[in-house]
Amino acid sequence: MKNAGHDKATGSRWIGVVVLLLIILIIGLGVFYGTRPSEAPAPSPQAASAPSEAPTYADKKSVSVSALSSPYSHAAQGNLSICSFNIQFLGSSKDRDNDALASILNHYDLVVIQELVAPPYPGVFPNGERYKPDPESKCFFDAMKALGFDYILSEEDTGTGDTIHSNGTNTEWFVAFFRANRVRRAADLPSGFLAEDRSNNKDYERVPYAFAFRTTSKTLDFVLISVHLQPTSGPANRARRKHELASIATWINRHNEKEKDFIILGDMNIDNAAELADDTPPGLLSLNYECRPTNTNCRDPKPYDHIMFNPRFTVEIDRRMDVVNLVEAMRGFWHQPGDYPGDPYNHDEFRKHYSDHCPVVFQMMIPEVDDD
C-alpha cells in the first residue's frame, strides 16, 4: 500500500508538470504568432483613409520635433519623399540662415518652394530682357546645390499687380529642387505656368506653376502644381481662393489626356476646415484634411498649407502628411548673440531668419509599372 500511494502521488505530480508545460507552450505560441501592438504592420498607403494620429498643435514640443525626426525624412525604399515649403520672402533677408534651412531639406527627394521673390543667377526673361540676380536668393540656391540638388526655376515671376519682372516682394518665382538620381524632368508632360498672363491675372493672384517629373525607373510620372493663393480672411478673399482652385481644376481637366497624376501643393491660405470643405474642387482630397496648422505662429495657428490630389487616379500617394515643426527644427542651428527667436517665440524675428510656415512632407510609392 505504501508503494502504491507513493506511485499515485508521483503520477499526480507528473500530470501537474505536463499540464503546466502545456499552458506555457500555448501562451508561448500565442505570443510568437500573435501580433504585438508595437509590431503591428502599418496599413497600405492605398487603403489608408487617414493619416496616423498627430499630436495637437497646442503641444508644440510633440509636433515633429525636427525634420530629422520626421517619419518622411528618409523615404522608405521604393518611395519618393516630397516636401512643400513656403519660405517667406526668400531672397529679401540678409539675416536668413540658408544653410540651416537647406540642412533640414537635405533628406527629401523633391522640394517645392513658394515665395521666392528674386532669381538667384543671371538669366533672361521670355521677352528677351535680362534679369538681375539676387545675392540672398543665390545663398539659398548655393546651399541646396551643395547638398546635391538640381532645380527647375520658372521662366519669370508672377504677381497680383500689373507690373512683374521685379525683385521685390510684390512678385514671386516658382522653383522645385530635385535629386537627379531619383527623378528627372518629364518634358513630354504638361508643365510651366498655368496661364500666359502672369500679371494681374483674372483667375489667379499668382499664376501657379506645374513641374512634371518622372522617376529614373520610368515607372512613375506626375505633375506637381505649386501654388500661393490669395491671403487673409474675409468673404471676398475666401471667394477668390475658391475661384483659384476651381481654375486649377479646370486646367487639369484640359491637360489630363496623357497624364492623370496631378498634385496641387503649397500655401493655399485656407483658414479652417469649413473653408477647406467649401474650396476643395470636386473629386479632390487634401492630405491635410484634419486642417493641422502649418504656420510657425503658435499663438494664431492656421492650416494654410495643403496637398490636394485625385484619389481615383493618384493611387501611388501615401495619404499621410507630416508637418515639420520649424521652430523646434531650427533651435539647434541658432548660434547668434541673443535669445533664440523661437523661445520665447518672436514672430517677426523668427520669420526674418527662417520663415513663417513649416515644411509639409508626404510620400509617393514607386510602382513596378506605370498606370498611365
User: Do 236 and 176 share a domain, yes or no?
Assistant: yes
Q: Is the domain of 121 the same as that of 256? A: yes
Indicate the pairing of strand 150-153 with strand 110-116: unpaired
| Domain co-membership, 37 together with 148 | no
> pTM of this prediction?
0.82
pLDDT, position 280 = 98
- Using CA atoms, how far residue 84 sits from 67, 136, 307, 323, in Å, is 13, 20, 9, 10
The verdict on residue 198 lying in a domain is yes
| Co-location of 34 and 109 in the same domain | no
Domain ranges, residue 98: 61-365
Q: Kindly state whether residues 33 and 66 are assigned to the same domain.
A: no
pLDDT tens digits, the chain, 372 residues: what are they? 334 444 444 444 544 544 455 554 544 444 333 333 333 333 333 333 333 333 332 333 323 433 344 545 546 667 999 999 999 999 999 999 999 999 999 999 999 999 999 999 999 999 999 999 999 999 999 999 999 999 999 999 999 999 999 999 999 999 999 999 999 999 999 999 999 999 999 999 999 999 999 999 999 999 999 999 999 999 999 999 999 999 999 999 999 999 999 999 999 999 999 999 999 999 999 999 999 999 999 999 999 999 999 999 999 999 999 999 999 999 999 999 999 999 999 999 999 999 999 999 999 999 988 887
Question: 97 and 222, same structural domain?
Answer: yes
- 199 shares a domain with 158: yes
71 domain residue, yes or no = yes
Residue 260 shares a structural domain with residue 352: yes
C-alpha pair distances (Å), 7 with each of 10, 16, 45, 286, 288: 5, 14, 63, 75, 73
Count of structural domains within the chain: 2
**Could you tell me if residue 371 is inside a domain?**
no
Q: Do residues 18 and 150 both lie within one domain? A: no
Q: Assess whether 167 and 200 both reside in one domain.
A: yes
Based on the fold, state whether residues 347 and 199 are members of the same structural domain: yes
Q: Is residue 48 part of a domain?
A: no
C-alpha cell at 41: 504592420
Q: CATH no. for residue 319?
A: 3.60.10.10
Query: What is the pLDDT, as a whole number, of residue 252?
Result: 98
Determine the pLDDT at residue 50.
35
CB-based contacts of 103, cutoff 8 Å, min separation 6: 147, 333
Residues 150 and 23 placed together within one structural domain of the fold: no
